Structure 1
Amino acid sequence: MKEFTDQDPRVLGGFRLLARLGEGGMGRVYLAVDGQGERVAVKVVHPEYATDQEFRRRFRREARLAARVAGPGLARVVAADPDAEPPWLVTEYVPGLALSEAVDAHGALPAPACRRLAGQLIEALKTVHAAGLVHRDLKPNNVILAADGAHLIDFGIARSADESAITHTGQTPGTPGYIAPEVLLGKTADARADVFALGAVLAFAAQARHPYGTGPAAVVMARPLATDPDLSGITEPELKGVVQRCLAQDPAHRPGLAEIAGITEARPAATGFWIPATMLDGIGRRAEEAAELTRMRPARSPSPHPPTALPAPQPPTVTTPARKPRKPSTATSTPRPAPSRKLRLPHGSAAFTRRGALGLAALATGAWVIGRMKGLGGEDPGPRPRALWHHAMKGEVATPVVADGVVYAGSSKRGITALDARTGRQRWHVPLRTGAAWLTHAEGTLYFSDSGEPGINDVPLHAIDARTGRARWTVSGPHPGYEAVTAHRDLVYLSHMDPLRALDSSNGKVRWAYRHDPDYQDSLSVTPYGDVLYVTGKQGVDCLDAASGRRRWRTDIQMPRDIAVSGGALYVAGFGAVSVLDRRTGKLRRSYGFGSNWPFDVVASGRTLCVTDNDDVVGVDVATGEKPWRIDMRNFPDLSAMEGGLVAVGDGDQICLIEAASGTVRWRLAPDTAVSYPVLTDSVVYVGVDDDGVMALDTAKPPEPSS
């Protein structure tokens, strides 16, 4: 993504533009949001074409054609205005990497990934052809690799198969090296021209170079008519044979899509492992960047411009249910900007291990007092919670840790305070010169690190007696970050870098170390459960013996973000799905799909899962896989462990208490400024309040207001 220049518009047709995604021969493409905050891609035609009436006629026609297509693996047209100054077209935004940039950055795809890519593109092309269209510009730049598979974009020169091409003299109907020979000779293009382009795309993906080479456009364009493609880099015979047949000069000798599908796999693996981890990493970072830009938008956009002269999409041969539109927020058109969030990790290696074990406290900024609560944008947020008690503290207050009837709160200015969980009365206080960045607890010991930025060396890690606040031991090392220390039984796990280290809780000495992936030095995330430790990293999920660090099993779910354990099931939130594993063996039981999105937090209770999906919280019925409810939280939310069918959700702007089975919001707290993430335990929600302290909130339904 590129920053705006003075020539870039900021609002177009009711869509708020956020960043430039790219530029082609016809126009520029921008990341944007609609009136409900949903991300879209806006293509704006270059000004020099806007005065060309023939071009406008073609653009209007092509927008109509593209609007007829809807199905899996295709970016649906949302709106268009061919008569605007300049003309524009809006499609669904697919968070991912173009095949061209993925291959350029990370090399060729292995053969299994190429087969899956082929299968996904075939399904998309079947939908295009079933609508009576030919894409005519299938190329690596128009294939987006996302978490849930490949998506075909850009119908800029799509045309009806029974119509003559509309082109100017000298115009190229496609991209050199991907244009079928019969099209170059001026003959009518049909579905077999897309098969030729598919073969060229697969050749590029499999060997990281174009099958007809590079050079001046006229030279590259002539090669399919005169020379054979270079397929020497494709090592698998079956894949090479299919690609070679697709690139036959005579369209009659090319296989049909159904025949090619015999060697392909249309769906990515249930675990999301369909392309190499390095590419998945890049996809995740691109999705994170787009989400961050969306969160930073200064205001809700006005309602988008309706499509001009676009027919309703015709029912395709293959369809998938469209995501329901997000309900409008109660916010006005000018909500306050999102606060600074120290919990959100930087664009570094830790970006994909956002959540640690249950009970881990992480620093989040925010402040409100009970006397000045008000709704989003000044509107009433609905029922508000009853405060059980409030303990005043100064400075930034870490998310509380609750254990054995005590609430432990760390402050950047006042140190650490232990409070009675029932009354809020202080039990002990330890002043700290540098403050406490986070807290975690196990077996009567409280652990914390001095305030500072992750990555700083020689930062002390402290252990103190949770009953008295007296020091036990201190060790120094690189700053572990806000979510990289997890205590369980008699060990403390440091997961800010691979290898994972387990420290003895009695003296801080390393008892064992475990290397998750020799090729990466990234941070890990750990979730203790009984006598095992679930470790997540870029290469999957490992189950370790918690005491010795010996691995029991590994599963290849790629880029997992969070884990929840319920009964015999292990729920793993990762690319495009929440996977359900047998927690004893790691075998995949089933998965719940989330399309091209990336669930990053999950909690489980009974037959209900609560999952964070971008800015939303979604309920999933574990028996049926249905998603009966969805709640917009505006920023990336965090879920507290579910208790009694309730889950507490915080996103820095607000806190909600949700009834998991129905999605009913029991109460909502939307203050003037941000709040810390909530901790739900023993029917109480505890929150840290910047420059105000700690508050305990009742989970019971608030009383009805008096008339």
Structure 2
Amino acid sequence: MVGPLEEGDPRRVGRYRVLGRLGAGGMGVVYLGRSPAGAAVAVKLVHAEFAADPAFRARFAREVAVARTVGGAFTAPVIDADPHAPSPWLVTAYLPGLSLAEAVAGDGPLPAASVFALGASLAEALVAVHRAGIVHRDLKPSNVMLAPDGPRLIDFGIAHAADAAALTRTGGVMGSPGFLAPEQARGGKTSTASDVFSLGAVLAFAAAGEGPFGTGDVVALLYKVVHDEPRLDGVADPELRGLLAACMDKDPARRPTPQELLERFVPRAPAPEVLHGTGWLPEPVARRVADRTLALPSRSRRKVLAVGGVAGAGTLVAAVTGAVLLEGSGGRKAAARTTASPTPSAPPSPVLAQARWTVDLGADPYGGLASAGTTLVVSAEEGRLICLDVRRRKTVWQHRKGNRGDGAASWRTPVVADGTLFVGWPDAPGALYAFDVRNGDQRWSATMTDALNPAVSGGTLFVGDTGALSALSTSDGRVLWRASIGNALNATPAIGDGLVYAGTSDGASSGGTANALHALDARTGRDRWRHPMTRGAQSPAVSGGMVYCADGAGTMTALDARTGAKKWDFVGGRTASDPFMSGGLVYVADGDGKVYALDAATGRTRWTWPTGTGTGVWTAGIARGVVVVAAVSEVFGLDAAGGRPLWRTGQLDKVRTVAVQDDAVYVGIQAGTLLAFPVKGA
């Protein structure tokens, strides 16, 4: 887990911002950091006692240079380093999840199938490390991470650099007693075979719940490693027990190589795509990995905004996230019917997209993002409203209102239409503002209880608050009508064919008028029809004479836009995003990490693609035949017609907001960075 920074800890190391402590050890302190582009990284800062040793610095520089060449699917790559800094440092990819030590301590030994899977992964990792000319020297349960995308071996690349310095200074042993090889315990020469011994000890720990030499003080453990045979009676599987015994042979020459181990582990390991997730782990451990991944610092929900795609909604449609459960039912079900190719068993590997540019906003863009032409407006924390010219990547203007001091966004979700920015301010008295998007000049303001998710059509602005839906003139903010339909604050209205559709919710499972999708005359505000929802209506989408809306109990419903008659229901995974419409298809994503394309007329599934994130994803928009979806810390581009994965951004900081326009995808992340990706991924 990430701990708070202590007095004396740095706030920046090199170009990396330091956010919290991940741990400390004999080599130094490990921090959670952020790269300039907002990627989460592990920053390892070497202790001053090593930094004062010129021999250490020279060796550290050589070892890091080699470590940066290490590839492999099951290692944490070295990203950056400075061996010449006053305190040398090393940066690797940050892997959220659990260490093997934490997993076994919390849920007990792993079953044999999981240990074979882990053995195959770590053997492959050692093949990559050894191929680069590195001996790990400190392979132990805390250096094995169980991450959402598979197990990883960490902390190679600096152990050798510290080896000579530690032995010369203290006469001690580099490594972890109980998991190091006998030759290391004697202070002798280490080799790749030493890592194999440690691998056997780590896998024995995973299978039995304790190390093969038990516990005790350092001297006792070192004696056992040198003189005693490993205890493997807790390893029930005979084949596994034999492999581990071979790994921990006292004679390095008799131990198998990592490649030989890989060939022995693979036949009883799951398919490769399973290893690149958490499906190989027992369910309780997989759940803890997912929980730990989602537990990274996050202040509230993210907002996902899209340009275009809904008839009559102006130049920008705000598809604000509101994750909903997809477990309920009602009416004609569409979940089980498919008309296209079967769902793939595992996500293919899309191309890694490269950001065209990044901009440091200096603030968490929690409040949302509005895109129009070459202008991008960001609502960020502490009341900051920032307007950017995306061609020059320069700030055109910015406002700062108040100083709330709690890190939360002050301005509500922005929306741009016809050269005007509309955005709400929540503090009492609440207000809705209109700004000239060119220069930031205020055009008008109107008092509102709150104004979270506005939508624009023609010369009318529709916005919900805690008690009603209101229509205002976009030219002067004059209220045209106000309909008391209940709490319409959390759903973005949709407009089409002279009607405005608004979802209301009281947060309870009562159904009825408090939880419903309402259709009102867009000119007068008069009720046309109302469809009860089990637990509140989310943001609807309207197209082709149909309106689509998900409720908080888990069902997405398709209704006749004029009459409110139900056409079909769809039940997917645990949760779902608000629906997004384009080209006769409804796109929706769920909390299990899957994206669906549904036939808009029938609800039949055209295609499904599992992102492999294991967490909720949100539909963000579509442009040039590419559907863009956002996950907790990654964004994907899929072929809209067939669901083929085209690109992914790779791990980012917490994704706060996404806007899609023409050929660009703009991503705002918690670290205060805005990134621009090509919509085609290249």
TM bracket, shorter-chain basis: 0.5 to 0.7
Note closer, same or farther for the CA distance 1:143–1:587 as it changes in structure 2 (3 Å cut): farther
5 Å-filtered alignment, 1:255-654, equals: 255-261=256-262, 262-264=264-266, 265=269, 267-269=272-274, 273-290=279-296, 292=298, 326-331=355-360, 335-338=361-364, 373=387, 379-380=395-396, 386-387=418-419, 392=446, 394-400=448-454, 409-412=463-466, 415-417=468-470, 428-431=481-484, 436-439=488-491, 447-450=503-506, 461-463=514-516, 466-467=519-520, 493-495=551-553, 530-536=568-574, 600-602=617-619, 608-612=626-630, 617-621=635-639, 627=646, 636-638=655-657
1:141 is matched with 142
Task: Note the residue ranges of structure 1 that are not aligned, 5 or more in a row.
Answer: 297-319, 344-362, 506-527, 538-559, 665-707
- Conserved 8 A contact 2:516-2:533: no
Give distance in 2, aligned partners of 1:529 and 1:116: 46
Deviation of the 1:18 alpha carbon: 1.1
Secondary structure of the 2:574 match is strand
Secondary structure of the 2:363 match is coil
Secondary structure of the 1:438 match is coil
Note closer, same or farther for the CA distance 1:368–1:250 as it changes in structure 2 (3 Å cut): closer
Secondary structure of the 1:125 match is helix
Secondary structure of the 1:611 match is strand
1:167 counterpart = 2:139: no
Q: Describe the superposition over 1:57-82 as per-residue Cα deviations: whole angstroms up to 9, x where unpaired.
A: 54344334423423322222233333
Give distance in 1, aligned partners of 2:261 and 2:73: 18
Deviation of the 1:164 alpha carbon: 9.3
Q: Structure 1 vs Structure 2: percent identity of aligned residues?
A: 31
- Conserved 8 A contact 1:149-1:268: no
Note closer, same or farther for the CA distance 1:529–1:341 as it changes in structure 2 (3 Å cut): farther
Give distance in 1, aligned partners of 2:351 and 2:677: 25
- Conserved 8 A contact 2:540-2:549: no
Note closer, same or farther for the CA distance 1:236–1:604 as it changes in structure 2 (3 Å cut): farther
Deviation of the 1:3 alpha carbon: 0.7
Deviation of the 1:368 alpha carbon: 9.6
Deviation of the 1:644 alpha carbon: 9.8
Deviation of the 1:220 alpha carbon: 1.9
Give distance in 2, aligned partners of 1:562 and 1:491: 7
Give distance in 2, aligned partners of 1:206 and 1:435: 54
Note closer, same or farther for the CA distance 1:614–1:23 as it changes in structure 2 (3 Å cut): same
- Conserved 8 A contact 1:445-1:463: no
Deviation of the 1:364 alpha carbon: 11
Give distance in 2, aligned partners of 1:17 and 1:657: 20
Deviation of the 1:23 alpha carbon: 0.4
Give distance in 2, aligned partners of 1:156 and 1:657: 31
1:10 is matched with 11
Deviation of the 1:441 alpha carbon: 8.3
2:26 is matched with 25
Q: Describe the superposition over 1:293-327 as per-residue Cα deviations: whole angstroms up to 9, x where unpaired.
A: 9999xxxxxxxxxxxxxxxxxxxxxxx99967645
- Conserved 8 A contact 2:51-2:87: yes
- Conserved 8 A contact 2:469-2:484: yes
- Conserved 8 A contact 2:204-2:244: yes
- Conserved 8 A contact 2:353-2:648: no
Secondary structure of the 1:255 match is coil
Give distance in 2, aligned partners of 1:96 and 1:56: 31
Deviation of the 1:530 alpha carbon: 3.9
Q: Describe the superposition over 1:91-110 as per-residue Cα deviations: whole angstroms up to 9, x where unpaired.
A: 22222322212322333333
Deviation of the 1:138 alpha carbon: 0.8
1:190 is matched with 191
- Conserved 8 A contact 1:147-1:598: no
- Conserved 8 A contact 1:133-1:158: no
1:49 counterpart = 2:50: yes
Letter in 2 for 1:449: S
Give distance in 2, aligned partners of 1:639 and 1:470: 33
- Conserved 8 A contact 2:351-2:648: no
- Conserved 8 A contact 2:456-2:462: yes
Q: Describe the superposition over 1:662-694 as per-residue Cα deviations: whole angstroms up to 9, x where unpaired.
A: 479xxxxxxxxxxxxxxxxxxxxxxxxxxxxxx
- Conserved 8 A contact 1:395-1:411: yes
- Conserved 8 A contact 2:78-2:92: yes
Give distance in 1, aligned partners of 2:569 and 2:212: 54
Give distance in 1, aligned partners of 2:259 and 2:606: 32
Give distance in 2, aligned partners of 1:290 and 1:185: 41
1:317 is matched with none
Note closer, same or farther for the CA distance 1:128–1:418 as it changes in structure 2 (3 Å cut): same
- Conserved 8 A contact 1:32-1:39: yes
- Conserved 8 A contact 1:41-1:90: yes
Note closer, same or farther for the CA distance 1:280–1:136 as it changes in structure 2 (3 Å cut): same
Give distance in 2, aligned partners of 1:589 and 1:485: 21
Deviation of the 1:180 alpha carbon: 1.4
Deviation of the 1:250 alpha carbon: 3.0
Letter in 1 for 2:504: F
Q: Describe the superposition over 1:521-559 as per-residue Cα deviations: whole angstroms up to 9, x where unpaired.
A: xxxxxxx9944311326xxxxxxxxxxxxxxxxxxxxxx
Give distance in 2, aligned partners of 1:322 and 1:472: 46
Note closer, same or farther for the CA distance 1:31–1:232 as it changes in structure 2 (3 Å cut): same
Give distance in 2, aligned partners of 1:209 and 1:529: 58
Deviation of the 1:128 alpha carbon: 1.1
Deviation of the 1:585 alpha carbon: 11
1:240 counterpart = 2:293: no
Secondary structure of the 2:272 match is coil
Deviates more, 1:435-444 or 1:582-591: 582-591
2:114 is matched with 113
Secondary structure of the 2:358 match is coil
- Conserved 8 A contact 2:23-2:30: yes
5 Å-filtered alignment, 1:145-160, equals: 145-155=146-156, 158-159=159-160
1:92 is matched with 93
Q: Describe the superposition over 1:487-519 as per-residue Cα deviations: whole angstroms up to 9, x where unpaired.
A: 999998433xxxx6999x9xxxxxxxxxxxxxx
Note closer, same or farther for the CA distance 1:631–1:146 as it changes in structure 2 (3 Å cut): closer
Letter in 2 for 1:100: A
What TM-score do you get using the length of structure 1 for normalisation?
0.61
Give distance in 2, aligned partners of 1:112 and 1:585: 37
Give distance in 1, aligned partners of 2:451 and 2:608: 41
Letter in 2 for 1:600: V
Secondary structure of the 2:193 match is helix
Q: Describe the superposition over 1:179-238 as per-residue Cα deviations: whole angstroms up to 9, x where unpaired.
A: 112332344322222111111111222233222221212212222333333334433333
Give distance in 2, aligned partners of 1:462 and 1:661: 37
Letter in 2 for 1:273: G
- Conserved 8 A contact 2:213-2:221: yes
Secondary structure of the 1:199 match is helix
2:216 is matched with 215
Deviation of the 1:591 alpha carbon: 5.9
Letter in 2 for 1:167: L
Give distance in 1, aligned partners of 2:588 and 2:277: 11
- Conserved 8 A contact 1:486-1:494: no
Note closer, same or farther for the CA distance 1:186–1:23 as it changes in structure 2 (3 Å cut): closer
Q: Describe the superposition over 1:580-628 as per-residue Cα deviations: whole angstroms up to 9, x where unpaired.
A: 899999999876678xx97833468685231326666443457796746
Task: Note the residue ranges of structure 2 that are not aligned, 5 or more in a row.
Answer: 303-348, 370-378, 398-415, 423-431, 433-445, 560-565
Secondary structure of the 1:62 match is helix
Secondary structure of the 1:133 match is coil
Root-mean-square deviation (CA, aligned residues, Å) is 5.9
Give distance in 1, aligned partners of 2:569 and 2:509: 32
Note closer, same or farther for the CA distance 1:8–1:207 as it changes in structure 2 (3 Å cut): same
- Conserved 8 A contact 1:272-1:574: no
Deviation of the 1:165 alpha carbon: 10
